């Protein structure tokens, strides 16, 4: 029982990470400057640094890429 549940989660984790890696390659080359204007013209160092994070947060960035307007998302707090 434990074995099956863990095996399922671990496979899901591998699949998520693999998909993230593939997405991240495209994203740091093409997507990032469409999602965030401040990334336009940014160098290789920046693109490599955000690579691991893109693997982790790829579904979020995929959505932002579709809705890309170059502006950071609005934040809500008591003063904004």
Partner 1 sequence: MSHRYAGISWNPQKRAYDLMVAAGVVLYLVTFLALSSLLHPAATAETLLIRGFGSCAFLLLNVVLCIGPLCRLDSRYLPLLYNRRHLGVTTFLLGMVHGAFSLFQLHTLGDSDPLISLFTANRNYQSLADFPFQPLGFLALLILFLMSATSHDFWLRNLTPRVWKSLHMLVYAAYGLLVAHVTLGLLQSERSPWLVAAMGTSLALVLSLHVAAARKERELDDSTPKAQEENYVKVCAVSEIPEKCAKLVSLRGERVAIFKFDGKISALSNVCRHQNGPLGEGRIIDGCVTCPWHGFQYQPESGAAPEPFTEKVSTFRTKLVDGCVWLDPHPLPPGTYIEPSRIGRS
Size of the site for partner 1 (CB under 8 A): 38
Structure tokens at 59: 């579904």
Q: Let me know: does 46 contact 39? Beta carbons within 8 Å.
A: yes
Q: Let me know: does 27 contact 65? Beta carbons within 8 Å.
A: yes
Find the helix or strand (DSSP H, E) in which 24 lies: helix 2-26
Candidates 12, 25, 52, 66; binder of partner 1 (CB under 8 A) is: 52
Told to check if 12 binds partner 1 by CB under 8 A, we report: no
Q: Let me know: does 72 contact 36? Beta carbons within 8 Å.
A: yes
Told to check if 26 binds partner 1 by CB under 8 A, we report: no
Tell how many helices (H) and how many strands (E) occur in the chain: 4, 0
Told to check if 72 binds partner 1 by CB under 8 A, we report: yes
Told to check if 15 binds partner 1 by CB under 8 A, we report: no
Candidates 49, 63, 66, 69; binder of partner 1 (CB under 8 A) is: 49
Binding site for partner 1 (CB under 8 A): 2-3, 6-7, 10, 13, 32, 35-36, 38-46, 48-50, 52-53, 55-57, 60-61, 64, 72-80
């Amino acid at each position: 029982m434990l074995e099956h549940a863990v095996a399922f989660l671990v496979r899901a984790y591998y699949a998520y990470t693999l998909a993230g890696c593939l997405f991240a390659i495209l994203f740091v080359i093409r997507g990032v400057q469409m999602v965030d204007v401040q990334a336009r013209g940014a160098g290789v160092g920046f693109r490599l640094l955000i690579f691991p994070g893109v693997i982790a947060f790829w579904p979020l960035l995929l959505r932002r890429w579709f809705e890309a307007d170059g502006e950071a998302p609005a934040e809500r707090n008591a003063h904004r």
